[in-house]
Amino acid sequence: MKAVVWHGNADVRTEDVPDPRVERPDDVLLRVTSSGLCGSDLHLYELLGPFMHEGDILGHEPMGVVEETGADVTSLRRGDRVVVPFQISCGRCAMCETGLQTQCETTQVEEQGMGALIYGYSSLYGSVPGAQAEYLRVPRADHNALKVPDEGPDDRYVYLSDVLPTAWQAVRYADVPEGGSVAVLGLGPIGDMCCRVALHLGADQVFGVDPVPERRARAAARGAQVFDPSGTEDPVESIRERTGGRGPDAVIDAVGMEADGGHGPVRLAQKVVSMLPKGAAASLMENAGVDRLSALYTAIDLVRRGGTVSVIGVYGGMADPLPMMTLFDKQIQLRMGQANVRHWAPEILPLLDGSDPLGVEDFATHHLALDEAAHAYAMFQKKEEGAVKVLFRP
């Protein structure tokens, strides 16, 4: 089959690889019909290279049709249309039963001290073959495949794999009061969807901050008030002015470790990581502060006293400095983590009907073949050609 394969920093290729197969009685084999390119895939493209292996198959946002089932699979059959959450969980352990599928005690990557297995996301999360491919093996399929209606375009449902539950969790964790205010830092796919979800769930004021004009325009068209951090207007002061001088009730950091802004030494450290031998680079990542924290610092500065900062952008450093006095003095609540897809799916699925209140059917900016993966990654990483969300059509 064809798949998108990692070969080194900024080097992904579409290649022929062996077909996956049913290996365990609880597996299904999925014929992938759509698979997303996620902003967190860009961390693998460059910064998290020390945890990648040449030949790793990328991707963690699939949907498709069941081609074959293992003997123990009871809820699925050949021909079923399903979406696959990006994490692999058991559905039975204490963590899964409390809705924390990303912390599944059965599939935790214990040798790395990390949470549940994730498709196509480095040795940190188990080096599981990913979903930017023609076929995907889905383990523990009764719990790890979400049946969706046979009718309707893929674009209506594919975002259940990651984008929708990730944005939904970010907004729920932000704890925006009814009629309250929230600022979203970063208007890539997740930040854009956070704005849509926040408005849908009753926020009165939603502010979006991003330097890319096309991304600001998308958010503004859906009702967000948008700001350019690279312009002459200071977004922090402008948002404070529009929230009674206090700042918003919540701020969502949808940027993560590769934020624009200062942190020259950290940028240098990130470049050094990309040039070191794998072992030394991994050790540096695991023991040093190698995240660019401008978005998180802005969130802490901007949020009102007693407000909430919800972090959904991915961070990878183990020794990042935080302004603890400010966090404590402002009585800020801080919530974060990978999205627990199965936990949020029941709330989201009813919204994916004909009325499309979140605008999922026209959310993708690009639909590309797997053969165009190298171009897609480079385009998305450089924020060119209006790329906000890319879907592959295997």
Q: Residue 36 above 90 pLDDT?
A: yes
Q: What is the three-state SS of 220-281? A: HHCCCEEECCCCCCCHHHHHHHCCCCCCCCEEEECCCCECCCCCHHHHHHHHHHHHCCHHHH
Among the listed residues 331, 274, 281, the one whose alpha carbon sits nearest the alpha carbon of residue 308: 331
Q: Residue 295 above 60 pLDDT?
A: yes
**Distance of alpha carbon 79 from alpha carbon 370, whole angstroms:** 23
Q: How would you class 350 by CB atoms within 10 Å of its CB: exposed for 0-12, middle for 13-18, buried for 19 or more?
A: exposed
CATH 3.90.180.10 location in the chain: 2-162+340-392
267 against 298, higher pLDDT: 298
Q: Residue 158 above 90 pLDDT?
A: yes
Joined tokens for residue 187? 């208007």
CATH 3.40.50.720 location in the chain: 164-336
CA distances from 156 to 153, 316, 357 (A): 6, 31, 11
Average pLDDT taken over every residue of the chain: 91
Residue burial 136-149, b: 16+ Cβ < 10 Å; e: rest: bbbbbbbbbbbebe
263 against 379, higher pLDDT: 379
| Contacts for 142 with CB less than 8 Å, ≥ 6 apart | 26, 73, 74, 75, 76, 91
**pLDDT confidence of residue 134:** 98
CATH (residue range 2-162+340-392): 3.90.180.10
**Distance of alpha carbon 114 from alpha carbon 91, whole angstroms:** 18
**Distance of alpha carbon 111 from alpha carbon 125, whole angstroms:** 10
Identify the H or E element spanning 128: none
**Distance of alpha carbon 175 from alpha carbon 327, whole angstroms:** 17
Statement: 164-336 belongs to CATH 3.40.50.720? yes
Q: Residue 270 above 90 pLDDT?
A: no
Q: Which of 99-103, 289-293, 343-347 bottoms out in mean pLDDT, i.e. has the lowest?
A: 289-293
Q: Is 113 left (phi over 0), alpha (psi -120 to 50) or beta?
A: left
- Alpha carbon of residue 329 to chain centroid: 31
> What mean pLDDT is predicted for residues 285-310?
82
Q: Which of 83-92, 134-143, 248-257, 286-295 bottoms out in mean pLDDT, i.e. has the lowest?
A: 286-295
Contact of 24 with 141, CB cutoff 8 Å: no
Among the listed residues 62, 60, 64, the one whose alpha carbon sits nearest the alpha carbon of residue 42: 60
> What mean pLDDT is predicted for residues 225-232?
93
**pLDDT confidence of residue 258:** 65
pTM of the model: 0.92
**pLDDT confidence of residue 315:** 83
Q: Residue 260 above 90 pLDDT?
A: no
Q: At what angle do helices 163-174 and 341-348 cross, to 10 degrees?
A: 90
> How do residues 321-370 score in pLDDT, each as one tens digit?
889 999 999 999 999 999 999 999 999 999 998 899 999 999 999 999 99
**Distance of alpha carbon 183 from alpha carbon 295, whole angstroms:** 12
> What mean pLDDT is predicted for residues 140-145?
97
Q: Residue 267 above 70 pLDDT?
A: no
